[in-house]
Every structure is written in C-alpha cells, then in structure tokens.
Structure 1
C-alpha cells in the first residue's frame, strides 16, 4: 500500500479508501457483527492435559489438545495450547473434577495443576457474563 501511495503521489489513506470502494465484498457488512476471538497461547500443565485426553471432549476441544506442542519440564511436561479464549474456558470447566468432590478422590498434584491452568486462563481472559 505504501508503495502504491508513493508511486501515485497520494496518501495511504487514499489508497485504502479506493480499495474499500472497489472491493466492498471484502469489508465488514454488519458493523454490529461480533469480532472473532483471536487465539491465545497458554501452557497447560501435563497433569491437566492427561486428564483431558482421557475425558469425553467436544471435537474442537479434542483438536486443540491434539495440536498442542509438548514442552518437557523436568520430570513432567506442559502442553502449549493455542486456541480461542472460549475453548480455554471450556477446557478449564471440563477439568473441575481434579479439585475433588462428588465422590472423586483428590490428588493434590492434579488439583494444583488445575489451579495453575485456571490462573493462566483468568489472567489472560476476562470472564464472560
């Protein structure tokens, strides 16, 4: 765009306006349409990832876990997951049993791992309504 502006001795804004006028099908038609959420990269503790892999997940959640990148950390690992904030919240909701309750035995390390993931999700993503 800058090269076109220099070549024709006009501003970049003029080039942008001309492109919008010539190609209206590539501009947003509904100004009130929701903006899609951009992916957020978070490190998920391995204990949480292992639990979620054994759980029944929605297809988008399963794909998210499958596409995560494993990063070795000492004895364990973390899974670097890149997905929309809403999917991070869904995954966090699915691993609630790691905190125990409802007749589920509590494993302190798993509960701590879930809380770490919860802290990462809450720090980057404002909670919804």
Structure 2
C-alpha cells in the first residue's frame, strides 16, 4: 500500500524555497509606503536591516516568486507620469532587479 500513496505526489510541484536577497533601503522605503499583499508585507516586516554608510539595506528572505512580485511593485521608481524619476531610486531598483534576475526561473505549465 505505501507504494500507491507516493504515486499521486510525483506530479505535485515542489515548493519554492526562500532565498535571501539584499534590498536597497530606497526600494524598501518605497514598498512600505505602497499597498502590498499580506505575504509581501510580511516579507518586508521580517527583513533584517543592515546599515550601509548613510543608508541601509534590508535583507529579505522570500521565495523567488515573491521577490519578483516586489520588484514589479517598485516599477514606478523608474519614473512614470505620476512619479518623477529620481536617479538614486532608479539605481536602487536596478540593483535589486539585478539581484532578482540571478534567481532561478520558476517552472511554468
């Protein structure tokens, strides 16, 4: 009987494991001021602040998919009609994007 129980789980996707990335403080500050999903808010709230000179970095542990969601939410930092472009914020978003881009791609259907 035990061999029959394992058969149904072979097609189940493996859950993504959390990955820790450093998020620039300017990105974290922007995200904290926006509407976030509960999982996104929890990831930011559980992040560890690391002081860097005048600013800081937030060390965030989350699944790669959640990091991608957070990155998508900070898209306005690149400048839009509603939000003027600020070079330091744009650079901070680009740094976070470069870190997120190193994560493995999620398996899709």
TM-score (norm: length of structure 2): 0.89
Q: How many residues align?
A: 107
Bigger proportion of residues as helix: 1
Larger Rg: 1
Gaps in structure 2 of 5+ consecutive residues: none
Secondary structure of the residue that 2:102 maps to in structure 1?
helix
| Runs of 4+ in structure 1 over 4 Å off | none
Match of 1:81 in 2: 60
CA RMSD of aligned residues (A): 2.0
Ranked by relative contact order (alpha carbons within 8 Å, sequence separation 6 or more), the top structure is 2
Residue of structure 2 aligned with 1:43, choices 14, 22, 27? 22
Q: Distance in 2 between matches of 1:61 and 1:44?
A: 13
C-alpha separation in 2, matches of 1:38 and 1:62: 18
**Which among 45, 49, 67 is matched to residue 66 of structure 1?**
45
Q: Structure 1 length normalisation: TM-score?
A: 0.76
Query: Does the 8 Å contact 2:78/2:89 carry over to 1?
Result: yes
